[in-house]
Structure 1
Amino acid sequence: MNRSAESGGGEGPVVLPERAASLVELLRRHAARTEEQRRVAEENIAALDEAGLFGITVPRRFGGHQASVRTLVEVGAELGRGCGSTAWTTSLINVSGWVIGLFPERAQREVYEANLRARACAALPPHGTSTPADGGQVITGRWGFASGCLHAEWALLGVSITDAGGERPDQGLALVPMNQLKIEETWHVAGMCGTGSNTLIAHDVFVPAHRILSVTGAKQGRYPTEFRDEVLYRAAFVPTLALSLAGPLLGLARGGMELVRASLARGRGISHTFYEQARQAPSTQMQCAEAAQLIDTATLHLMRAADDVDNCAARGQCMPLLDRARVRMDIATVARSSREALDILLTVHGAKSFADGNPLQRIWRDQETGSRHALINPAIATEIYGRALLGIGDQVSPLI
């Protein structure tokens, strides 16, 4: 499918989640292999690429959809129904594409002119060091948890920027071709195994200045892109990054509900009771209703947060601190509600949920792992929001 042919008009926000939904069964068929091989199945990658689902946040100028943050999370939620690792990888590749859209046009062209379907991954913590060089910085470091690096041509790497005097006045994101980096296989985990979130290594890699984004400026809504009329690339920095993690978590909970309902519809009973059909038990009905309500709660908070970010960007405003803090709280609510819903569904489904061949145990492990990402941490998000609500100036994190 020609991505450039589908980027015009307003069809993207509606059609892209539908395309994602059409791939759910394909992702389910390959979910076990994705986990076993610790990378997204190539059949999934090809189908996602054909559907244009790696171009959600790519500028239209390069044939992408340049859609909305809401579309990004809706697609993540649909894909998460089929495979948590695939959804997570796709969402993080897309948010990396969004970050590239914040760079100067020169950097964007270097990424997309040679390959309109180029993909990027990101490792944001400043685990790299730099030394100033003529026209840029020379970086060295190791960056773990680089989700999607096995399917990317570029990487965004967090570095401490060093000036000529040896001071470190800023933190940056360096945009580096993957062929200048080494991948070390370090991703051996209990859940989200298929994301291939390995470690990237750079040793004395030169990065020109136009391919280094100031994180300090970005957090304040100052982006170096010359295209000020492109609404998507005015979205708030940290909220957009954090929201990209939330869609797959909601999708996992939805996928778990679908599996349990399908099992109940087949008429199984409850062991050690007189119920020949579990669906006839009031306890089952009440637990399913409670899980569904928790999933609805996660959905409402996720979509509100995405809409808040989109609407603020459309108005051309820098998102206020209180609103950004609330987005962090909304995302924490998505994680907490989705986890609680899955916990109930596992109880309904019983001990067989944990059989190796049962996809519900993989969904549970993916949810438990993904929802522990540092940007999601519900306790920290609650503290951030509480401080913002009470006007306390000292915060507990720079990432708001």
Structure 2
Amino acid sequence: MTTTQSVMDRPAESAPAALADTAMTDTAIADAGVMAGLMEAAAQLRPLVAQRARQTEIDRRVSAEVTGLLRDAGLYRVVQPKRFGGHELSLESLRRLAFELGQGCTSTGWCYGLSAAASWVLGMFPAEAQHDVWGQSPDVLIASCIAPTGKATPVDGGFRLQGRWSFGSNCDNAQWLSLGAMIEQEEGKPPRPVFLLVPQGEYRIVDTWHTVGLAGTGSKDIAIEDAVFVPAHRTVSFAEVLEQEAPGAHLHASPIYRLPFLSGFPPLLANPAVAALRGALDEFIASVAARATRGAFAGGGQSIAQFGHVQSAVARGEAAVDAAQLILQRDLQLATDLAAAGTRLSAAQRITLRRGHAYAVQLCVEGINGLYDVVGGTGIQLDSGIQRAWRDINAVAHHISVNWQAVSTMYGQMRLGLPPRGQY
């Protein structure tokens, strides 16, 4: 029997010959031990994170207290380069840790995942930029505004940066920001998008974050009205991080710094939706399913768990969590394996990865909508984790990087032989 190779199939030559050894290396054993300790710390913190979930929404940010506990546990260092005090583990390790925390509070899981991921991106910057940020302390936190809505004007030694940015998740707890901007080029050439690093004190946080979902992420606006100077070494171009050519990529042993940005970052945007659905299902089964129906409803007096449509909603939600996690795990592993082998991901592979990221979120939207439909009147209470997950998951689905309507067309265009329109 013969099969047709899909664009996601891993080429036989993608694994280095050294990986044929069955014995784990000393480094792998040590990394496994570090990860076990981090997972234990995250599991111990999850009840507190869950207890604070409602207050986090009210405060519209993750508290300094919770942030400090995560920092003290070393959780933010998971994908930070080892030479700067980090653990330099995989993006899948980060996804798992954020999944653990996100079951208790989606906003906390979102902020943790994105700020930890910002250390991964910083590992792609020039070495001097990494020294600027981590030289004094390995526990510096970074937030980011990815969209290049700022303007960077070239000057001697660097750029003058000004502008306004949206969605600065976890900016209240950060000491540095990574901001997207456009650099004007000579006549006839389009502007060039870049990331620039700016320290606390050179930007202003504008309190604009009043939202129906992800309310505790503190994703406020960032403003720089009077242009600030950014040295050239504190920049990296979008093209470099998209095309596996970042200047910092070969400074560190791990292949994660050679991953295309849009193959590694969107899974971490999708992950909070999966964690939220997992937490909502557990809450539903523990505290709602056994509750008896009341009023004139047919079958009144029975437990909610007795109804077939409730059973189906639980099954659909559980299947969505399983399927979404498998997609994200597979896609992160594929991208990492190819990067480790020195293989440049093809356009078809990157677009297919983008499809998986968005579809994982779409599965969670369908799963939580089905669960919320059967939760009953208690589900409209603001202290219900199920309705919070319903709002949060639907909010995640509005992010352009994991929005099914925005991303799926790009994949369809590719498969139908049309020029794909979008970022990948």
Using the size of structure 1 for normalisation, the TM-score is: 0.93
Listed one character per residue, the Cα deviations across residues 152-192 of structure 1 (whole Å, up to 9, x for unaligned) are 11111111123577965521100111221111111111111
1:27 aligned to 2:49?
yes
Structure 1: 5+ residue stretches without partners: 1-6
- Secondary structure at the counterpart of residue 12 of structure 1: helix
- Secondary structure at the counterpart of residue 268 of structure 2: helix
- Aligned match for 1:173, one of 192, 195, 199: 195
1:253 aligned to 2:277?
yes
Listed one character per residue, the Cα deviations across residues 262-302 of structure 1 (whole Å, up to 9, x for unaligned) are 02464434652335222233332222112211221212212
What is the CA distance between 1:319 and its match in structure 2?
Answer: 1.5
Name the counterpart of 1:328. Answer: 354
* 1:182-261 equivalences in 2 (<5 Å): 182-202=204-224, 203-225=226-248, 226-227=250-251, 229-261=253-285
- Secondary structure at the counterpart of residue 75 of structure 2: coil
- Aligned match for 2:82, one of 60, 83, 86: 60
- Secondary structure at the counterpart of residue 77 of structure 2: coil
Counterpart CA distance in 2 for 1:290 and 1:52 is: 35
How many positions carry a matched residue from both structures?
Answer: 393
Structure 1 pair 112/166, CA: closer, same or farther in 2 (3 Å)? farther
What is the CA distance between 1:309 and its match in structure 2?
Answer: 1.8
What is the CA distance between 1:217 and its match in structure 2?
Answer: 2.2
* 1:356-371 equivalences in 2 (<5 Å): 356-371=382-397
Is 156-165 or 245-254 further displaced after alignment?
156-165
Name the counterpart of 2:9. Answer: none
Counterpart CA distance in 1 for 2:366 and 2:377 is: 17
RMSD over equivalenced CA pairs, Å: 2.1
1:43 aligned to 2:69?
no
Counterpart CA distance in 2 for 1:10 and 1:288 is: 33
What is the CA distance between 1:364 and its match in structure 2?
Answer: 1.2
Is 145-154 or 307-316 further displaced after alignment?
307-316
What is the CA distance between 1:76 and its match in structure 2?
Answer: 1.9
Is 356-365 or 184-193 further displaced after alignment?
356-365
* 1:42-191 equivalences in 2 (<5 Å): 42-163=64-185, 169-191=191-213
Q: Aligned letter for 2:325? A: T
Counterpart CA distance in 2 for 1:59 and 1:177 is: 20
Listed one character per residue, the Cα deviations across residues 304-332 of structure 1 (whole Å, up to 9, x for unaligned) are 11212221222122221111111111111
Structure 2: 5+ residue stretches without partners: 1-28
What is the CA distance between 1:351 and its match in structure 2?
Answer: 2.5
What is the CA distance between 1:380 and its match in structure 2?
Answer: 2.1
Structure 1 pair 330/15, CA: closer, same or farther in 2 (3 Å)? farther
What is the CA distance between 1:29 and its match in structure 2?
Answer: 0.7
- Secondary structure at the counterpart of residue 191 of structure 1: coil
Counterpart CA distance in 1 for 2:96 and 2:84 is: 23
Are 1:128 and 1:143, in contact at CA under 8 Å, matched by a contact in 2?
yes
Are 1:75 and 1:247, in contact at CA under 8 Å, matched by a contact in 2?
no
Counterpart CA distance in 2 for 1:106 and 1:118 is: 16
Listed one character per residue, the Cα deviations across residues 112-166 of structure 1 (whole Å, up to 9, x for unaligned) are 0112100111111111112221110111100111111111111111111235779
Structure 1 pair 291/176, CA: closer, same or farther in 2 (3 Å)? same
Structure 1 pair 261/146, CA: closer, same or farther in 2 (3 Å)? same
Counterpart CA distance in 1 for 2:63 and 2:298 is: 42
1:395 aligned to 2:417?
no
Counterpart CA distance in 2 for 1:28 and 1:91 is: 16
Name the counterpart of 1:286. Answer: 312
Counterpart CA distance in 1 for 2:179 and 2:124 is: 15
Counterpart CA distance in 1 for 2:289 and 2:261 is: 44
Name the counterpart of 2:367. Answer: 341
Counterpart CA distance in 2 for 1:308 and 1:13 is: 20
What is the CA distance between 1:374 and its match in structure 2?
Answer: 0.8
Q: Aligned letter for 2:196? A: A
Are 1:160 and 1:168, in contact at CA under 8 Å, matched by a contact in 2?
no
What is the CA distance between 1:377 and its match in structure 2?
Answer: 1.2
What is the CA distance between 1:253 and its match in structure 2?
Answer: 0.4
Counterpart CA distance in 2 for 1:264 and 1:125 is: 41
Are 1:69 and 1:309, in contact at CA under 8 Å, matched by a contact in 2?
no
Is 11-20 or 254-263 further displaced after alignment?
11-20
Counterpart CA distance in 1 for 2:289 and 2:45 is: 23
Listed one character per residue, the Cα deviations across residues 61-120 of structure 1 (whole Å, up to 9, x for unaligned) are 111111111112212221111001101111110111111000111110110011210011
Is 47-56 or 157-166 further displaced after alignment?
157-166
What is the CA distance between 1:228 and its match in structure 2?
Answer: 5.5
Q: Aligned letter for 1:311? A: D
Name the counterpart of 2:400. Answer: 374
Counterpart CA distance in 1 for 2:139 and 2:108 is: 18
Counterpart CA distance in 1 for 2:346 and 2:90 is: 19
Counterpart CA distance in 2 for 1:31 and 1:144 is: 23
Counterpart CA distance in 1 for 2:45 and 2:149 is: 36
Is 268-277 or 47-56 further displaced after alignment?
268-277
Counterpart CA distance in 1 for 2:42 and 2:260 is: 25
Q: Aligned letter for 1:298? A: A
